[in-house]
Amino acid sequence: MPSATAPSPGVLIPRIQGRVWLFEDGQSVIEESVRLELGLVRDLSISAELPVFQGFLDAPRPEGGDLGLGDMDLLVELRILREDLNAIDTVRASIFAGAELPTASGGFAEPSLNPCVGAVFSSITGRHGIDFSGRFTANTGSGMAAPLFLTDLGDDFANLDAGYAYRIHPEAYGEERAAAWYLTAEINSVWTTSGAHEVMLSPGLLIEAPTYAVELGVGIPLSMDVDPAPAVEFAFLAGVRLLF
């Protein structure tokens, strides 16, 4: 899920993330995405994320290991609140706007230009961190005849997410900033204007160092009404983020 932290001007943060979605009836999709975030000026950044999919699905969806692109996310984010309480503790909030660009291919998404707006709040206090985010996307397409995900139904939709992180190591930072280990838990949800929804619990592990971060996690469905898209039964996530 997004956070209200933003790179400094001229700093580029690349992130490579992989997901495996296990659907009902033994179907699956592998998603590999590359996200680049660049600090433009203080409190203003731009990001682009492009997913690449490989699907093992039943017809009429892509089948047999077919490859294809999803829609690219292009966002501009403005941080509207930054209150640093000390060297570690902070409260931050950002707003963002952008669009899903029509880069989809291979039947893995409908190539349409879908504008979006959203906001995110982040707080770190001692060993505890919390994030809340919301995003609304206006879908300009008509929807896929055989959708893969809830967001392919053709309806406008909202992403609502909440996350918590607890630092298990170190208990306190010394003079040198060592890599920190966090246990994380998120509630990730999607709600469409037609009433369909998906709510997932996503526990995980985050290792965060001054120049890199590694994340591992799983997704467990809590509530789903996604027909005619296939229901997710389980998901895996792994990612690496670098700081230049």
- For residue 227, what pLDDT is reported? 92
At 137-158, the pLDDT tens digits run 999 988 898 899 999 999 999 9
Q: Which residues contact 148 (CB under 8 A, 6 or more apart)?
A: 29, 53, 55, 57, 61, 62, 108, 109, 229, 230
CA distances to 27, 30, 63, 230 from 234, in Å: 11, 12, 19, 12
Q: Compute the C-alpha angle 242/44/91, nearest 5°.
A: 80
What's the pLDDT tens digit per position in 188-202?
A: 999 999 999 999 999
Distances (CA, A) of 5 to 48, 71, 78: 16, 24, 10
Q: Is the Cα dihedral 100, 104, 107, 112 positive or negative? A: positive
Which residues is 214 bridged to in the sheet? 207, 240
Domains and CATH numbers, the chain: 12-242 (2.40.160.40)
pLDDT tens figures, 22-58: 998 889 999 999 999 999 999 999 999 999 999 998 8
CA atoms within 13 A on the CB side of 22: 10
* C-alpha separations of 114 from 79, 96, 134, 139 in Å: 23, 14, 16, 5
Distance (Å, whole) CA 72 – CA 46: 13
pTM: 0.93
CA angle 120, 81, 136 (to 5 degrees): 25
Q: How confident is the model at residue 213 (pLDDT cuts 50, 70, 90)?
A: very high
Judge whether 151 and 137 are in contact, CB under 8 Å: yes
Give percent above pLDDT 70 in the chain: 100
